Amino acid sequence: MKGPLFYSKILLFGEYGIIKDSKGLSIPYSFYNGALKKDDNPSEHAITSNKNLKSFVNYLETLDVDLVSFDFETLKADVNSGMYFDSSIPQGYGVGSSGALVAAIYDKYAHDKITVLENLTREKLLKLKTIFSEMESFFHGKSSGLDPLNSYLSIPILINSKDNIEATGIPSQQNNGKGAVFLLDSGIIGETAPMVGIFMENMKQEGFRKMLKDQFIKHTDACVEDFLKGDIKSLFKNTKQLSKVVLNHFKPMIPKQFHELWKKGIETNDYYLKLCGSGGGGYILGFTEDFDKAQKSLSDYKLEVVYNF
């Protein structure tokens, strides 16, 4: 048995901001993916994953059946016969490992599921997001539901606000373009819950809330609009500002050994770094107008191109 593949995701813009209604833009990233599987000779990883699935199924049974119901008979039979989630998506890296699993379970076992093939109205997208938010809360404590939504639909999602999301198109990539969005591997596993905890604690301060609205959300919204319009010049101007705001106000979310590297990008304009997901480790997202230059500047690190300008 091998189910369909579900991709990882990258939130290009909107981390933390979307909690407070900034815009956001999330794109599928097919380099990493996962699928439900059964093997005759399960590996250690498969056995662990299967054990986690059992707990997840118990959790799913507590969800409101008016929101979503599952074919538990088949799901339990599959889990009891050793089904696991076979995934190349790194965990704790901000690219949506639990999101892909949630999407796979919904796709295979949900009753009356909303499919990619139907006309995806805003209502349907919001309903899916709500379902996925409840399902994914098992892994994160509080989830927006966006990661599984992206993984399930495999199309870019534009977040206008909490209650206003839409499928969107993004400008096609320039394969011979010099500019790029890239992932930088911090080599550290990030934990979502503690980072979100720090953010929520900071939100109690009026100064932080003001900065979030006047600077962070302002530049995030501008970046999303620039990216969708393909206005590269304005995009890099706004990304630089966003990178500065994050360095000044989100320091705990940036692993200490990357503070100088972050600053160097802003000073040299070789690249601009931003958080990928909640931060604290995992991947850091980079934007550059000249990838060769960024590579030289960051020669000690492994970079993966996500998108070419």
- pLDDT digit string, tens, across residues 86-111: 999 988 888 888 999 999 999 999 99
**Sequence-distant contacts of 118-125: CB under 8 A, at least 24 apart:** 120/153, 120/167, 122/164, 122/165, 122/166, 125/149, 125/157, 125/165, 125/166, 125/167
Average pLDDT, the chain: 93
Amino acid 140: pLDDT: 75
For the segment 47-69, what is each residue's pLDDT rounded down to a tens digit?
999 999 999 999 999 999 999 99
What pLDDT, on a 0 to 100 scale, did the predictor assign at position 278? 87
Selected residue with higher pLDDT from 284 and 278: 284
Q: Which residues are registered as beta bridge partners of 84?
A: 37
State the pLDDT at residue 21: 85
Residue 1 has pLDDT above 70, yes or no: no
Mean pLDDT to the nearest integer, 267-289:
94
Please answer whether residues 85 and 37 qualify as being in contact, where contact means their C-beta atoms are separated by less than 8 angstroms. yes
pLDDT at 161: 87
- The pLDDT of 217-229, averaged and rounded, is 96
Angle between helices 97-109 and 44-60 (to 10 degrees): 60
Q: What is the average per-residue pLDDT within 4-16?
A: 93
Question: What pLDDT digit, counting tens, does each position of 174-219 carry?
Answer: 888 899 999 999 999 888 878 888 999 999 999 999 999 999 999 9
What whole-number distance in Å separates Cα of residue 222 and Cα of residue 260?
26
Cβ atoms within 10 Å, residue 195: 22
Q: What's the chain's Rg over C-alpha atoms?
A: 19
Residue keyed to tokens 């794109």: 27
| N-terminal to C-terminal alpha carbon distance within the chain | 39
Give the chain's count of helices (H) and strands (E): 11, 9
pLDDT for res 277: 85
Q: How confident is the model at residue 13, as a pLDDT?
A: 95
**What is d(CA 153, CA 54) in angstroms, rounded to the nearest whole number?**
25
Of 37, 30, 28, 53, nearest to 2 by C-alpha is 37
pLDDT at res. 207: 96
Residue 142 has pLDDT above 80, yes or no: no
